[in-house]
Amino acid sequence: MLVLGVIAPFISASRFRGAIQGALESSLGRKVEFERVSFTLFSGPGFTLEKVAISEDPRYGIEPFAYVPVVQARLRLDKILRGQVRFAGLSLESPSLNLVKNADGTWNVVTLMQRLSAPTRLPLNLFPSLEISDGRVDFKFGVRKATLYISESDLSIYPEQSGKLYMSFSGSPARTDRAGIGFGHFRGSINWFLNAADARSKQLEAEIQLDPSNLSELTTLVEGHDVGVHGTISSRLQVAGPLNDLRVGGELHLNDVHRWDLLPASGEEWTVRYGGKLDLRGHQVDLRTLPQTGSQASPVAIRLRVTDFLAKARSSVVAELKGAPLQDLLPLAIRMGLSLPSGATVSASTNGAIGYSTDGGWAGGLQFSEGKATLAGAPELRAANTQVTINGDHIHFDPSVLEAGSGLLKLSGDYYVSDQRASALLDATNVAIRDFKPLVNSWLGGIGPLSSIRDGIVSGQFAYLHRAAQADAADDQPAASWSGQLGLSGASIAVPGLSLPLAEAHGRASFTDAAFEFDRLSGIFGGLPIRVSYRYNPALKHTERARLEFSQADLGRLEQFLASADEPRSLWARLRFGRQPVLNWLGKRSLEGDLVIHQLSAGDHPLGTFDAHFLCTGRGIEFSGVSLKLLKGKVRGNGSVDLTDSDPHWRFSATATGYPWSGGSLSAEGEIEASGVGKDLLRSLSATGSFAGEDLAFASDHVFGNATGLFRLSFSEGWPDLRLSNVQAVQEGDEWTGEALTQSDGKLLVNLEHDGRQLHFVGSLNADKPAAPPSVLPQAGDVTRTSRAGLKF
């Protein structure tokens, strides 16, 4: 027998070809062709057929039902004893099968199974069986082949005397339009009752198991593409009932569910009980989740519907939430791409529904009641009611009133899951800065202008946009950006570079992610009322633009205000030894601005209205359009301050007109230079130029119609050293020439000469009284007399 079993495959059985072909065609009801046939004994007496083609029943098309490289056909012993060729079992190795559904709703495989069933009078062990190993099963609907097929399919069918078919199977569903050998792996067993009494009787019972599989593979199986949800899924279910109304029940296990571009959270596992109906005739599935216990209502109920799952599957999943705790849903939402600041905790009661369908994508509406959100460093946020709508990957938050300390906040926003883009619109009404700043800085990452604002009340609108970082993004847009307008009341604003803040500020702040502006801002700076406008825009040539307007100010106090808060000060400087830079920090700014002081004074002496335009160049400060409107007279000029050295170096060109002096008016034009600040500035000050005067009364009886000359002024000796040269003064047609100078005691000595005659005036720069008659020096030999003239400088 062993020798016969070994040599049997090499013995041609061609003389049985006709009988074998006839037996197969009789059993299958289809024309069968094969190229070679040989004997086999080890699997039971029978034949091995090679390159077998099984034609289709003409009712189901012209494409072959199956192509099989090798068929093992086992003979029925009872028929062999009678000299007949009948088969007890057929084993198909690596076949390619076509399961076809006709227009009338019948399947070719059903008619085939009915043919394989035997008359009830025969013993059970004599019924034919069918086995398929490593096969591929394609599905056809009429003449159209579905994209879905089963790969690596193993199937065993054993008919029983009662008309029941017992089947065990395993396989991996796959798609013709996607690479890969399969998506997931199913296995199970089926009892198919072909002789059911009627359509309402149990026609099928099965137990099916989905082995642990990749969730993305199953979604690709249904959708035709990866929807971006990854994880591990497994299930076990039982099916029973008529073919068009099968009852389904089982459990689903999910592990590490996450979006494709996020890391899974190891250890997260969900077990879901479900049940529903399956219609094999109509190709429909309707499943829904069940409570873990029969009496306990589940806060989350999920319903799955699939139609036409063999031809063109359309599916929908709907989750209904009734009082579901938001904190329990967030871990899954975060794995699906929702992002929250680190350390944030959110709680609420969730009601509504959210669903996904192959035709419409994501859609739904949710309501969050009694919501609370906390984050370190920020006040707790509370919202009584928040409405959310979902459309595709777009999540929209309707305006919701928030309670966060003082005032009123209203928040609305949008979130796009696909690119993690979020936008928020925050309306504030009379909210304290102490509550508003921590809220915005903690939840939204901080805003530049807000960092300098302290105290006070804020009202206005704030818009925020966040985009996920894109490694291949072509633009340079920041991940977070913001814009808005805020009204300030009673705020304290820290001025960069200065040690004093702007207090009791009222006005408006407008800002974007890169630029901001303070408009019509009024407040108190160093005890002085001030109005400020300020703009910062890095895209402009001069990034900062400011206008400062004081109602009154003193030169000495302005110097104190300009003391830098950021300038490092050594021990020697703190002990008031050595130089203390004041303006160096200002020269480093890219700042352009205007300074207006309506009442400028120097100590107790009012000077007038000051107006100047300035520009910080990086090396110093340039002044243009400098104007000082004195009580009588006006001074105009331009100049610069060089800040490249440790001490500022001042250089100005100035013109003074209409200055009252000695009963007339005086004009001057010249150059002014100085170094340092404060007393150092005064000691180093020097000025040179020319002057011209009209109706100057050096004495009560000596009035000069006009006078011109040159001047030089310095304070190098600690007192005003004024020297006048090339003086030319005209009195009643006589032209006098001479010079003048000051002494250390403040006296001004004026010496004039005309045709050998000399006039000498001695006066004080601070004197207000008119001069006494001067002495007239005649020709040589006369006695010289000198009078004191009261001169005002």
DSSP 335: H
Where residue 564 falls among pLDDT bands split at 50, 70, 90? Answer: very low
Report whether pLDDT(672) > 50.
Answer: yes
Helices and strands per DSSP (H, E), number in the chain: 11, 45
Element holding 350 (H helix, E strand) = strand 345-357
Residue 690: predicted pLDDT: 95
Share of the chain above pLDDT 90, in %: 14
Residue 307: predicted pLDDT: 86
Between 124 and 746, residue with greater pLDDT: 746
Between 174 and 238, residue with greater pLDDT: 238
DSSP 765: T
Report whether pLDDT(637) > 90.
Answer: yes
Average pLDDT over residues 356-381: 85
pLDDT in tens, 447-474: 666 778 888 899 998 888 887 665 444 4
Report whether pLDDT(662) > 70.
Answer: yes
Long-range contact set of residues 211-219: C-beta below 8 Å, sequence gap at least 24 = 211/184, 211/185, 211/186, 211/187, 212/253, 212/255, 213/183, 213/184, 213/185, 214/183, 214/184, 215/254, 215/257, 216/260, 217/180, 217/182, 217/183, 217/184, 218/183, 218/184
The ranges assigned to domains in the chain are 1-195, 647-793
DSSP string, 615-644: EE-SSEEEEEEEEEEESS-EEEEEEEEE-S
- Using an 8 Å Cβ cutoff, are 688 and 673 in contact? no
- Quote the CA–CA distance of 105 and 22 in Å, as a whole number: 29
CB atoms within 10 A of CB 476: 5
Report whether pLDDT(179) > 50.
Answer: yes
Nearest to 490 by CA among 559, 440, 431, 416: 431
Range in 129-143, 368-382, 465-479, 664-678 the model is least confident about = 465-479
Residue 667: predicted pLDDT: 92
Long-range contact set of residues 407-410: C-beta below 8 Å, sequence gap at least 24 = 407/431, 407/432, 407/435, 407/436, 407/457, 407/459, 409/439
Residue 775: predicted pLDDT: 46
- Quote the CA–CA distance of 156 and 128 in Å, as a whole number: 11
CB atoms within 10 A of CB 305: 17
- Quote the CA–CA distance of 476 and 406 in Å, as a whole number: 38
Residue 398: predicted pLDDT: 93
Where residue 769 falls among pLDDT bands split at 50, 70, 90? Answer: very low
Where residue 363 falls among pLDDT bands split at 50, 70, 90? Answer: very high
Residue 388: predicted pLDDT: 92
Identity of residue 573? A
| Rounded CA Rg of the chain | 51
Residue 327: predicted pLDDT: 79
Identity of residue 203? Q
Average pLDDT over residues 166-178: 81
Nearest to 368 by CA among 394, 349, 390: 349
Element holding 327 (H helix, E strand) = helix 326-335
Between 145 and 120, residue with greater pLDDT: 145
- Unique residue bearing structure tokens 């408009």: 519
352: which residues sit within 8 A by CB, 6+ positions away?
A: 320, 321, 364, 365, 366, 367, 388
Residue 792: predicted pLDDT: 34
DSSP 238: E
Residue 655: predicted pLDDT: 94
- Quote the CA–CA distance of 117 and 789 in Å, as a whole number: 145
Where residue 771 falls among pLDDT bands split at 50, 70, 90? Answer: very low
pLDDT in tens, 67-88: 999 988 887 766 665 666 677 7
Where residue 122 falls among pLDDT bands split at 50, 70, 90? Answer: very low
pLDDT in tens, 699-743: 667 788 889 999 998 887 777 888 999 999 998 888 999 998 888
Where residue 793 falls among pLDDT bands split at 50, 70, 90? Answer: very low
Average pLDDT of the chain? Answer: 78
pLDDT in tens, 269-299: 778 888 899 887 788 899 888 887 665 667 8
Report whether pLDDT(415) > 80.
Answer: yes
First-last CA distance in the chain: 143
φ, ψ (nearest 5 deg) of residue 265: -100, 100
Nearest to 498 by CA among 575, 548, 560, 455: 560
